[in-house]
Amino acid sequence: MSGLLSLDELRDLSKNGEVDTVLACLVDMQGRLMGKRFHAAHFVDSAWEETHCCNYLLATDLEMATPDGYVATSWESGYGDYVMSPDLTTLRKVPWLPGTVMVLCDVLDHHTHQPVPHSPRAMLKRQIERLTGLGYEAMMATELEFFLFEKSFDEIRNDKFRDLAPISGYNEDYHILQTTKEEHVMRPLRNHLYAAGIPVENSKGEAEAGQEELNIRYANALDTADYHSIAKHAVKEIAWQQGHAASFLAKWHHSRVGSSSHVHQSLWRDGNAAFFDPTDKLGMSALMKSYMAGLLKYASDYTYFLAPYINSYKRFQKGSFAPTRTIWSVDNRTAGFRLCGAGSKAVRVECRIGGSDLNPYLAMSAMLAAGIAGIQEKLELSEPMIGDVYQGESNSIPRTLRDARESLHTSALLRSALGDEVVDHYARAAEWEIEEFDQVVTDYEIARGFERA
């Protein structure tokens, strides 16, 4: 499995006509791929060095609106350019699109050519560098859960998003029979991603009708975030090719289970698992305990990066497998943090708070910042909780975007680790989501109050 290409290999493929299109993509605040489609001949000739985009791409919402209140860009500053600098180590085939390859780009300031601090890849690289300074490498994996629907995106939009019908009629958790009926989407997804150099482990049915999970082998944090973004994009494109819609909304219906993106985390030193200590009863090293204590202590500070929309908070329901509390527990799916691989070299912590709508670069950079703080502050880890963690109210996850935004904005830890500019930028993004939502009259209000209020 390689799937990755060198520039010289791309030159050859372009010359012999096998490749004609290069997607040059940045990752935006929402974790989406944004960019341009180059003719391969032009890309190998000059655009491989750099290309440009409007700097509003890192200051929009899902609808591509141009909210005020960002220091980085505005109407007043004229919405100038950023440099998109192709990271040629990410040049890879896009096997599900004919004649096409893709490269991810770092976002640089147009004048200084320095990384733009609030660009997701730059944020993650900064925390990886801090960890390298301590002598460690983060190995991470993100699980991707999502729903497949019977109809296509366009049909569903034309139907005004009403009467949404998932692709299956029943809970398909681990079901081989039902997932066989979805193989026209899932098999090309697994195989095309694998051929693109993304080490897919498996897919499975999840615990709701129409719900899928895709697992990719753990890798260093930057590769994991790249894999996640490309895989999420591929899910939507391949579902679309097959006439279906795929949704990563954290909660598409109040009576259905939501979708998560659990993040598995371990630190390594010189190629060895630094979280493992065979003399500990659970196999956890002192380093792992401090890292986890940091994750727990600062969970409210970074919840915004795991749950960035109003909708994200509707997923946190008791008895739904989505957590409600920042408590850790051993192989227990009711806790916000689950110890996996106890007593083995694969010992790791799985953060279960994140929704399928998270941006993996932001989520991982904020959690690394918290883990690093745990190590530097030499924090002690509490005893694990046993039993049903849903019972009890202490250490609850922020209940709304408003609460999470406040915790982000006032976080001394994230201000020092990510920078004031970055925290203010994303706190404004959260505030904008709240302002927009507060203006909208919902179907729920009409149905409840139209006659009876």
Distance CA 97, CA 77 (A): 38
Q: Which is nearer to ligand ADP, 11 or 264 (CB)?
A: 264
**Which of helix, strand or coil describes residue 37?**
strand
**Which of helix, strand or coil describes residue 26?**
strand
Token pair for residue 214? 């895709």
Contact by Cβ (8 Å): 320, 257: yes
Q: Which is nearer to ligand ADP, 218 or 252 (CB)?
A: 218
Minimum distance between the CB of residue 286 and ligand ADP, rounded to whole angstroms?
17
Q: Which is nearer to ligand ADP, 264 or 428 (CB)?
A: 264
If you write DSSP's letter for every residue of 173-241 in order, what string do you get? TT-HHHHHTTHHHHHHHHHHHHHTT--EEEEEE-SSBTEEEEEE--EEHHHHHHHHHHHHHHHHHHHHH
CA distances to 223, 297, 361 from 141, in Å: 9, 22, 12
Distance CA 68, CA 428 (A): 9
If you write DSSP's letter for every residue of 352-415 in order, what string do you get? ---BTT--HHHHHHHHHHHHHHHHHTTPPPPPPP-S-TTS--TTBPPSSHHHHHHHHHT-HHHH
Q: Which is nearer to ligand ADP, 115 or 341 (CB)?
A: 341
Minimum distance between the CB of residue 144 and ligand ADP, rounded to whole angstroms?
10
Q: Which is nearer to ligand ADP, 125 or 264 (CB)?
A: 264
**Which of helix, strand or coil describes residue 153?**
helix
Task: State the CB neighbour count (10 A cutoff) for residue 406.
Answer: 17
Minimum distance between the CB of residue 233 and ligand ADP, rounded to whole angstroms?
18
Minimum distance between the CB of residue 219 and ligand ADP, rounded to whole angstroms?
8
Minimum distance between the CB of residue 140 and ligand ADP, rounded to whole angstroms?
6
Minimum distance between the CB of residue 91 and ligand ADP, rounded to whole angstroms?
24
Minimum distance between the CB of residue 141 and ligand ADP, rounded to whole angstroms?
3
Residue numbers of the site for ligand ADP (CB under 6 A)? 139-141, 201, 215-218, 264, 266, 340, 346, 348
Q: Which is nearer to ligand ADP, 11 or 352 (CB)?
A: 352
Q: Which is nearer to ligand ADP, 35 or 371 (CB)?
A: 371
